[in-house]
Amino acid sequence: MKLGLPKESHADEKRVALIPANVTRLIKKNLQILVESGAGLAAGFSDQEYQEAGASITDRAEALGADIITLVNLKGEQFDEIKAKAKPEQLFIGMMDPLTHPENAATLAETGTSALALELVPRITRAQSMDILSSMATIAGYKAVLLAAHQAPRMFPMMMTAAGTLKPARAFIMGVGVAGLQACATAKRLGAVVEAYDIRPAAREQILSVGAKPVELDLETENTETKGGYAAEQSDDFIKRQQQAMANVLAQQDIVITTAAIPGRKAPVLITEAMVDAMKPGTIIVDLAAETGGNCELTQLDETVIHNGVTILGPSNVPGSAATHASQMYGTNIENLLKLIVDDEGQLQLDFEDEIVRDTVVAHQGEVVNARLRDLLA
């Protein structure tokens, strides 16, 4: 079978879905790999490296015409191009934002094309090596701290100098999943005093494990975690009580990183305008939930907002800003998934008895086959 690797069409997307090291390993599966010329350049991988790994360098039409096509973005303008060109026997693999845009799975199903949404890889031990959400969140958490450090009017570590003692920065991480935990660890490594809060009680130990201090808000709620390990959506009353309790903690911080997300839902507002009013001038907020509405009421996507001396950043596609490592991790996740669904003769074998296949394939043989998406579309 032919495996296509097109160049991402969005000008701001520097990542690529497979790197040459993945090609070297995947051709052993008897796959013929077609790489669109320049596909890896922005991530630091030349055509020559792909060629040396065993791929053929092609044009876009040939890469998009393969049997299996791997992409970073199977959404946005690239999705529009694909839906117009897709053929029934093809399988597209990429990030589809499926819980927010289930209609895209339906559109591909109408063309008879198969699609696999990487965000739906189940959070089970066997699928960890295929989990792009964790890979990308790791990078986002790390980079968020660097963005904050770059903007901050102070340094992170305590320093005893001939010109006096400098106090360490105080950093507060709100939402401690994969990104938040990496943000805690990165801020700690830079020398900040780090505190963190998550709605899920299980996060407490993880916060302690990276040397940060959990903030307890004493807010009773029964249902904080779903079966898949994600945060459950909370009532308006809970969010209001959470905001009140949080205001005092926030007023003492220099750096705030927010990462709170509920899959398929708008991000919860954890920081209101009034809470920003009570913060110290010079504080930096990096809102990693900006793409899903933001955890801070004042966040503007891809803008720097300055409010009473507090700077609020709402960057999009933060993992893409570390494109080499993001592509390495993403490519390895896809490689592991391909090894599950392609046999040693290079033929596609979708075993719907397998939980990973069942959860991630969204469109197949003219149908939306994923139960969650079918519910959303009903």
The C-alpha atoms of residue 283 and residue 271 are separated, in whole angstroms, by 13
Shortest distance, position 184 Cβ to ligand NAD, whole Å:
12
Q: Which of 172, 120, 179, 195 is nearest to 358 (CA)?
A: 120
Shortest distance, position 314 Cβ to ligand NAD, whole Å:
16
Give the footprint of ligand NAD on this chain (CB under 6 A): 123-124, 128, 131, 133-134, 137, 174-180, 197-200, 203, 229-231, 234, 259-263, 268, 270
Beta strands in 233-301 (DSSP E): 255-258, 284-287
230 given a catalytic annotation? yes
**Set 78, 90, 114, 134: catalytic member:** 134
The C-alpha atoms of residue 166 and residue 188 are separated, in whole angstroms, by 16
Q: Which is nearer to ligand NAD, 178 or 212 (CB)?
A: 178
Q: Which is nearer to ligand NAD, 228 or 281 (CB)?
A: 228
The C-alpha atoms of residue 168 and residue 158 are separated, in whole angstroms, by 4
Q: Which is nearer to ligand NAD, 85 or 265 (CB)?
A: 265
**Set 128, 244, 347, 365: catalytic member:** 128
Q: Cα angle vertex 239, ends 234, 242, to 5°?
A: 125
State the alpha helices, DSSP H only, in the chain: 20-26, 47-53, 60-64, 76-85, 102-111, 132-151, 178-189, 203-209, 236-250, 273-277, 323-341, 355-360, 371-377
Q: Which is nearer to ligand NAD, 35 or 269 (CB)?
A: 269
Q: Take residue 345 and report the two structure tokens written for it.
A: 């003769």
375 given a catalytic annotation? no
Shortest distance, position 130 Cβ to ligand NAD, whole Å:
9
The C-alpha atoms of residue 299 and residue 285 are separated, in whole angstroms, by 9
Q: Which is nearer to ligand NAD, 6 or 177 (CB)?
A: 177
Residue nearest to ligand NAD according to CB distances in the complex: 177
128 given a catalytic annotation? yes
131 given a catalytic annotation? yes
**Set 67, 78, 97, 131: catalytic member:** 131
Q: Take residue 210 and report the two structure tokens written for it.
A: 């990276």
134 given a catalytic annotation? yes
The C-alpha atoms of residue 93 and residue 70 are separated, in whole angstroms, by 5
The C-alpha atoms of residue 94 and residue 86 are separated, in whole angstroms, by 14
Q: Which of 218, 170, 220 is nearest to 195 (CA)?
A: 170
Shortest distance, position 340 Cβ to ligand NAD, whole Å:
15
What does the DSSP assignment read for 340-374?
HHB-TTS-B---TTSHHHHHHEEEETTEE--HHHH
**Set 25, 123, 189, 372: catalytic member:** 123
Whether the CB-CB separation of 31 and 55 falls below 8 Å is answered with no
Shortest distance, position 90 Cβ to ligand NAD, whole Å:
29
Whether the CB-CB separation of 270 and 243 falls below 8 Å is answered with yes
Shortest distance, position 33 Cβ to ligand NAD, whole Å:
28
Q: Which is nearer to ligand NAD, 85 or 240 (CB)?
A: 240
Shortest distance, position 261 Cβ to ligand NAD, whole Å:
4
Q: Take residue 267 and report the two structure tokens written for it.
A: 């991000």
Whether the CB-CB separation of 132 and 118 falls below 8 Å is answered with yes
Q: Active-site residues: which are they?
A: 123, 128, 131, 134, 230
